[in-house]
Amino acid sequence: MILTNAISPSDLSDSLEEFWKLSGEKVLAIEKNFDPKNGAPVFTEKGKYVTRGWTEWTQGFQYGSAILQFDATGDEQFLEIGRKNTVEKMAPHLTHIGVHDHGFNNVSTYGNLLRLINENKISASDWEKDFYKLALKISGAVQATRWSKTQEGGYIYSFNGPHSLFVDTIRSCRALVVSHGLGHVLQGENDKKISLIQRAVQHIRSTMRYSIYMGNGRDSYDIAGRTAHEIIFNTNDGNYRCPNSQQGYTGFSTWTRGLAWAICGLGETLEILDELEEKDYEPIITKSVFEKEMKEAAIATANFYLENTPTDGIPYWDTGAPNLYKMGDYLQRQSEPYNSYEPIDSSAACIAAQGLIRIGNWLKIKGEANGDKYIQAGLLVAKALFQKPYISENPNHEGLILHSIYHEPNGWDYKPDPKLVAHGESSMWGDYHARELALLIQRIAKGEKYYSFYNCVKS
């Protein structure tokens, strides 16, 4: 990725204005055309959102997108869409014991609504505010019950089962952090009180220890900053067994959306660490050591992203994808979504860009000299995403950001041309995180309150 062209948040103001205009049209189109009886909208086929019955992990992104649209524009029709659908349709996700996605579904909906109340952007009765708080308390506790122990701690296991740690879940830990911040605990057998923040910290540490390669010790054969999508453990004794992948090429290559989840999750956790009481997680690790570990992992993953992404910052779906070699020196030119060898994943860019900006902001606050590097990187990725060929200007296409990939190994993504890779489609998580990215940049550019998920805890 090339970082030589300096850019500021305000330089994207015109792009953001057009982005939110298009975004609103897409939200309204999905609300009008998609039937929730079929499940949650996941990705587009021929420009129309369809479902995919794996897990319903994207419904919160659908209604959360409407809430973010209101946040950015003040248009109350979007608040009504987000609030009404959250109250009427999201309750099953609060007690869903079968997934690791509570931070995606519930913090994106109930969390965003509570955040807007706390930021005085919407008015609400005490009962409505308490309703959102209760929902978030429950969600974090339910998420924390998916717990497997390791020799050093533990992790929230994926929907694959107790043996499986997904790198994605580092961002879903926000559900536990919010629940703890609202004063909640998980109660187990014999009324044993289980700390949600301690489980969140242990999960983040397990992800850093096993899912993120640091190029030394156990990882001395590998490259610092690379990530594995899935880690397999022996559930009998908690020992690490091997890396694996569900949506990447192999356990020994880097699925770039998993890398992006790590960058984003680490960035937003570093930002809020000063707001958490050290005494609440000190039995696990001290703040200084935890901060040091996260900083090293954040910088390593961010650098790996920059070094293994085309010049405009939009990555291919996996850095080890088997046909990339046929594309020649593909890292020395802009991304090419219309090619015959390997697809781009713009959703990874949407997620990573936000993380890069947050890591850069945190480093600057801490007086580190390299913070601007990552801020610049995140802004340049956003600039590329918010213009052709990635922004979707076609009014008949329900997606916002084009050239997103869901599951290349399973062949789930639509190919409009059999001679080319899957391209031209969007995903609900990509569109949602593009909106989070745009909101973050817009608030910085306008000098407004910094956008953080943890604002839902602070009154």
User: Rounded distance, CA 318 to CA 321, Å?
Assistant: 5
Structure letter (DSSP) for residue 9: G
Any idea which residue has 């020196």 for tokens? 329
Write out pLDDT tens, residues 184-212. 999 999 999 999 999 999 999 999 999 99
420 contacts 49 by C-beta, under 8 angstroms: no
Res 53 pLDDT > 90: no
Please give the model's pTM, rounded to 2 decimal places. Answer: 0.98
What is the rounded CA–CA span in Å between residue 305 and residue 353?
10
| β-bridge partners, 96 | none
Query: Angle 180-184-189 (CA atoms, 0-180°, nearest 5)?
Result: 115
Contact 408, 341 (CB under 8 A): no
Q: Could you give the domains of the chain?
A: 9-456 (1.50.10.10)
Consult the annotation and say whether 101 binds a ligand: yes
Quote the pLDDT of residue 73: 98
Instruction: Tell me what pLDDT residue 38 has.
Output: 84
372 annotated to a ligand binding site: no
Q: How does residue 411 score in pLDDT terms, banded at 50, 70 and 90?
A: very high
Q: Is 101 a catalytic residue?
A: yes
Count Cβ neighbours within 10 Å for each residue of 300-339 and write b for 16 or more, e otherwise. bbbbbbbebbbbbbbbbbbbbbeebeebeebbeeebbbeb
Report the C-alpha gap between 357 and 379 in whole angstroms.
Answer: 7
Catalytic, out of 14, 75, 126, 168: 168
For residue 448, what are the contacts with CB-CB under 8 A and spacing of at least 6? 442
The response to whether 318 counts as a known ligand-binding position is no
Cis peptide before 389 (omega within 30 of 0): yes
Query: Can you read off the two tokens belonging to residue 305?
Result: 């992203």
The residue from 11, 35, 71, 101 that is catalytic is 101
Q: What are 79-111's pLDDT values in tens digits? A: 999 999 999 999 999 999 999 999 999 999 999
Q: What is the pLDDT of residue 54?
A: 76
Angle between helix 287-307 and 371-385 (nearest 10): 50
In terms of Cβ atoms closer than 10 Å to its own Cβ (0-12, 13-18, 19+), residue 149 is: middle
Contact call for residues 135 and 207 (beta carbons, < 8 A):
no
